[in-house]
A and B are shown apart, each in its own frame.
Chain A
Amino acid sequence: MTPVTRDQVPSLRRGFRLQWEPVQNCHVLLYPEGMIKLNDSAAEILQLIDGTRAVETIIAQLDERFPNVPGLDEDVLAFIEVAHAQHWLQLH
């Protein structure tokens, strides 16, 4: 996996859509003929990925909302790395 740097700007790959599903009571990532149920932290990160925010901005905004979570930046970086390797995300 390619390491992610904080200045990169992630965006959802074309054809991927984040959506809240009330019946499943969670966010899901939808893509051609598939669906991934997301846990709360993955959903929080993905909601901030809009193709304009850099990784460092996403981390800063999450830090502000969840001030007492240790190692939050490492978690965000790890998630983006995995999501990129899965080709859910593109990095610019």
Chain B
Amino acid sequence: MSTLMSGARMLVECLVREGVDCLFGYPGGVTIPFYDVLYDHPLRHVLVRHEENAAFAAEGYARATGKVGVCCATSGPGATNLTTGLVDAMMDSIPIVAITGQVTSKLIGSDAFQEADTFGITRPCTKHNYLVKKLEDLAQIIHEAFYVASSGRPGPVLVDITKDVLQAQGHYQQVTAIHLPGYRVFTEGHTGQVRRAAQLVEEAQRPLVYGGGGIIAAGASKELREFVELADSPAVLTLMGLGSLASEHPNFISMPGMHGSYAANMALTNCDLLIALGVRFDDRVTGRLAAFAPHAKVIHVDIDPAEIGKNRAPDVPIVGDVKRVLTKLNKLLAESKSAPDETLRAARRAWWHRIRQWKQEHPFDVATSDTEIKPQHLMAEIDRLSGGQAIVASDVGQHQMWAAQLVRFNEPRLWLSSGGLGSMGFGIPAAIGAQFARPEKLVFAIVGDGGFQMSIPELSTIASNGLPIKIIVMNNGHLGMVRQWQTLFYNNRLSAVELDGFPDVEKLAAAYGFKGRIVDKPWELAPALEEAVAEPGPYLLNVKVTPFECVYPMVPAGSGLEEMVLGPPQPVAVPAK
């Protein structure tokens, strides 16, 4: 009935059945049996240049598609190198499955060559993890891993497989059901609570949607758009939620939080109803919790019950899938017969008026200069070329904030950014994963000169696969975000933030066989970016920007959103002697 096959082959078989078309990995001693199967199998394996980047690339793939991303590594150092990517996926709820090799089961515990306690190490880095020591468990566990990674609140799952399991011969038994008696997935949302939520939305004078990555994970963009239109509510979207409502949608204000817009933060501070959708009240968004949305009743919708009430006690808690809950909520709002009275209509008009005013008073600063390239100018130009359509993978730091502020995203899954963990070195491998997932898309990797140097090995992956990724280095010669904090909060004592010795990108790109150039004149910026986009292959553009620019607005850590600083401290006139 079924053919006899090795564990390694069974593993590949399971991956194919899960719809995997591409995986990112790096081989090693104990995973050779797996690579031996891949030798003549159509499943595409992308050889990265460091295991950490295999995990980031799998994340990029998952973030760009919503499908489960897959990465693999060998035992010991291979597995430990994956961990940053696993935690990154954990923090941002990204579905990935990591396959690692483990030493032969008999050798476990003997400090064998390249042995590490991967199962123990990755326990807190994953949603769930497995150690497979028997071939008969393999297929069941692989299918379970994909189910756990992609259902409920998505996350990373690691499967550690001993070498003897990969080598053993056995029969593939069809896996027809996943049985995890203790794994509860809450999707529906309590009908009574949804009704209460609808009522609050109808009665609110100053409603505000606060949406996040959960909307993208749930694929609820359409429902979100319907909701903001039905409820006539403005919306702010977190770093993780950008694109879930089109940036060009009239109800979209912008990103709130530490580097959010004045309008977004003022709207949060002044709203009387906060509709929190797929968000976790992260400290980078809320600032000082006690001062966050102090006048608002809170409706909190999340698929993870542990997020509800973790940081802010909601008035209407709804545990459920955002898409399904919004569908119910929209139905109630659409069918509602209660027409708002004149007082309410006037209040809503006044609310919108205030929001528009805030937006006008302090829009994001798109400074340009005749002599230097301002970082904001760079982001504005990328935005122009993207038109809200390109995939943008960012690294972590100042460039990430400016990109989030100034680049539009008119669809979900275009903005790929390490939000919760804030992992430098994320941008380029994530762009690689995204470009494999969506080959037809224009993909920018916007990185700083710090993060870029963490990812240089992957230029080789880009070159050897001919990926037409546009790597834009926002080069300010510093670890800019740390430098900004040192400037603002540590008396400008700049410690270990200068990045001297940046390579000549033209030569660097040429060494890998593709084009690169440096640009430092503001009038050369637009043509240089256009050239990069027009290039059919990869392109590395080193953009020298003003070195000492700070990202504003800024809510100092521990302050309330209203206490944001809008710009650099103004020079104070020194009184004449």
A binds B: no
| A→B interface (CB under 8 Å) | none
